[in-house]
Structure 1
Amino acid sequence: MKTVSAAIGTQLYKTEIQAKNHIITADEPESVGGQNLGLTPTELLESSLAACSAMTIRMYANRKEWDLQQVIVNVGFKRNITTQTVTFKKEIELIGNLDDEQRQKLLQMGSKCPIEKMITGEIVVESALK
């Protein structure tokens, strides 16, 4: 079942994440005991949404042969501890020769990325010891 694996040793919070032949490092900031050697788990989640939205917008613009030169997606989120509600905020910058109708359609397409569909749907996490 292995798609992505994460391994941590005794070095506080430094975690190596492997997917296929790619390895990235996750860590926590020094302020909470990490060494700031990589993205935090929260930043990894935000980056997944940002990257997926940007790629989906790019794919759609390419199919339509629109003059989209660059997509910049900024993502942040707020979590309400009391209600356990998480609100993601996406700011999408579209650079290119696009009219208002094209820009609105690309904004809509950004919300159709697979990651956004996952995090806005019902999520079940099943854990088991190996």
Structure 2
Amino acid sequence: MKTTTATIGKQKYKTEIQSKNHIIMADEPIEVGGEDLGFTPIALLEASLAACSTMTVRMYADRKGWELDKVEIKVGFKRNITTHQIIFKKEIQFFGNLDNEQREKLLEMGSKCPIEKMITGDVSVVSILI
């Protein structure tokens, strides 16, 4: 199993996240008691979806030899308080010499990234005390 480790000490909400030799910081905003030293957990999830989608689009365009100069994807989400449904919204921009058919195909490919498949699939979390 691949492992990512999150560690929090006594400093309120400041969390160090390590995966292999990469480290990022997570925290909560000042208004909820954090110090705003890093991404919020929600922003990390949004970032995962945005990064995975852009990488998937880039890989596909590169394989096809298409003139894609840049991809920009903004991700946000809303939670319906009544139904508890969560909807992620991706605003996608493609820059480059692409026709409408290529743009539509890239849009389709962006929704096939592993993170999107994970969050739209049947997901379970198993917690084990060690």
Shorter-chain TM-score: which interval?
Answer: over 0.9
Q: Distance in 2 between matches of 1:84 and 1:129?
A: 28
Residue 107 of structure 2 is matched in structure 1 by 107
Please give the residue correspondences for 1:1-130 in structure 2 after superposition, counting only pairs within 5 Å.
Answer: 1=1, 3-130=3-130
1:43 maps to amino acid: A
The SS at the match of 1:82 is coil
Normalized against structure 2, the TM-score is what?
0.98
Deviations 1:15-71 (A, max 9, x none): 000000001000000000000000000000000000000000000000000000000
The CA distance in 1 between the partners of 2:29 and 2:52, in whole Å, is: 25
Tell me, in whole angstroms, the C-alpha distance in 1 between the residues paired with 2:32 and 2:55: 33
- State the identity as a percent: 68
The one-letter amino acid of 1:107's match is: L
CA distance in 2, matches of 1:10, 1:84: 32
AA aligned to 2:113 is: C
| Structure 1 residues without counterparts, runs of 5 or longer | none
Could you tell me how far apart the structure 2 residues matched to 1:2 and 1:64 are?
A: 31
Instruction: Name stretches of at least 5 consecutive residues in structure 2 with no aligned partner.
Output: none
> Which portions of structure 1, spanning 4 or more consecutive aligned residues, are displaced by more than 3 angstroms?
none
CA distance in 2, matches of 1:125, 1:17: 19
Task: Calculate the TM-score normalised by the size of structure 1.
Answer: 0.98
Q: What do residues 81-104 of structure 1 show as CA deviations (whole Å, max 9, x unaligned)?
A: 222210000011000000000000
Count, aligned residues: 130
